Structure 1
């Protein structure tokens, strides 16, 4: 959840941690680029309450419900799953938009624009999220949304400053295909346009000496060369190969391709929580019946074990990151001490350094790793730092170091 100080500072009230219903059924409403209020979707509220009402023991972990709806979304077993997750990810969307707005002050976009851009990328975040590698969907989304917004701005800047030909030279095959498909072209048209673009790119790059975005338009001779190459390649690249095309047709196809690419890079932003035309927000037909879903029972049974495994994975990642951030000499001393079993005297002889240096380096390395572990416990598990915690973490750290080096997992 959001830090309470941040929430109060920027007027985005926290949804109570215990209110699972609110987390998965409310959406941010902005007013003049500022947070206004939380809006509740009645159908989503009834959906989550329907799930909760059929359970004798209700899981209160937000991660449990995020993983539950994500699995439903992956399995396409519940049409509301994606919308529940969109509601859940409103806070990461908002904070990504807020930080982007503060960072990029020289653009024409405001916080509301960035928020809509981030909201439109929820599906991308859900597709890329791997529950086996991350213990928190919200934490993953908090890292993913800023990166996606930055990429969108980069693409839009390029689309702004490039000529049609400079843009077609820069974009990737994947972007071209997605842009043409997004524009509603048929499979045959997409194949023809893609081949025309490939021939254009091959010959245009050969005939362009500059590296700027404002590259000159191809002359008639170049268009003829592109058309000739297309007519040769279509026999082996297209099924069916289609008829021959003249240079004017190829030019028109590529102009249309550039238009499609610009439209794709500037793809419109639609709110994910707006009911589709003709959709009754009070309709109950799509609500799940939890009593018939083995997925729910399976997840409840697995939750404790998965939480332990996720926490162990997080601890391992935190400590490994902290270990690799140490200076080379500290890493070498740890390796000799834990992997080779050297005494401090043997380390002194091996590295030709003084005893105080070895002792300080060992202490510094352990303290850095312990600080990372305690920091993770405080931030992730909300555990207060006490002397007993430090003692327990020190013991756990020693075990981790001996295990990591003893199993030769670190060279």
Structure 2
């Protein structure tokens, strides 16, 4: 699912992204807020995008109750919320919590959108923003990504320690140990393990409904050649839950107690996330450096200790945005194998990176990737993504300069980079008029340019002997689109001279 890029300033500050829940294939559309449009035409029509943002920020700092200014800013951040949510879904390989990856994207988008609606937090972030260091969208993306991670971790933690979430997320080994500690016989444990496995395979959410319980009973009776009732099944599952609670409490009493207090304030069972897929930890009490400048040389050195196969996996995952299942298909292995390898690489990098810092600061800590502070984890992942995408984006910059003609460069720069002053976005109609082209001719020019850029990525993959990736046309197209939209520095890529 992709969104149409808003072309004009009015659209950016006056429209909101909405999903059509009634469509069999979820679609998106930009809905204009007519009140905002009238206000925009009255106050901002002649201003650039940068000037509008500065004006809105100034208004909200002095008049935080100015509803129109706040809504303009929220509308502007809609695209940022979407792209942050989209990248988060791909990068963290979230399990299918709902019915499809589209539903996951919508839910994560709503988390980011809700964060922008918190005026105090938004103003606090804007006050810390330094326009000399980065663009506003790039700056806010890091904040929203962190907010999404916090929200998902909170939801995951609640679900894992709720009754049915605990049962669904527990391994067979943990269940066996828990039941054994409660004095159940091996025969009883085997029976309980069987019904729990049936529960996991049948129940689509944490808490099974009556129909699902009936299905479990039917399957159990068929496989065991015994007859049990739904009431008896429910009692067995309750016994397993109680045993697991006792086992978790003995194993990790402090974490259990803090999580339990959260559950008591939560009225509904929430869908669970797999622990292996969400290696996001709460804030640690200890002080640990999260400065990128301290980590960067250590990360660069740590990568030299990886094998070619390990580096390729990270390149596929972070550089090309391939999900674990896609990497597994390319390499002819199970998805669980790739998941395990990536987790092992995370741990290996964490050890190589943190140990020198711990020794340097004389810190008595034993840290790994899962126990690092959340900010450090996100920073390391951001660095890995930037590191493995850098050669791809460098290749695109070279293709832009060396293989695209002046007409191609001019069209891309005006459509994606703004006008000749670099701060006013232009619609396709405006660009076509500026270049004395029809819209159809402009679109054909853009398509030709994008195909040349995509071929540049294909050439790089072939040089890396990754020929199987050449068929991943959509991934390559997405990377080119990301570079054009957010990473290309058009002022450094042979900026065209305005014709007089």
Return the TM-score normalized by structure 2: 0.33
Structure number with larger C-alpha Rg = 1
Return the TM-score normalized by structure 1: 0.39
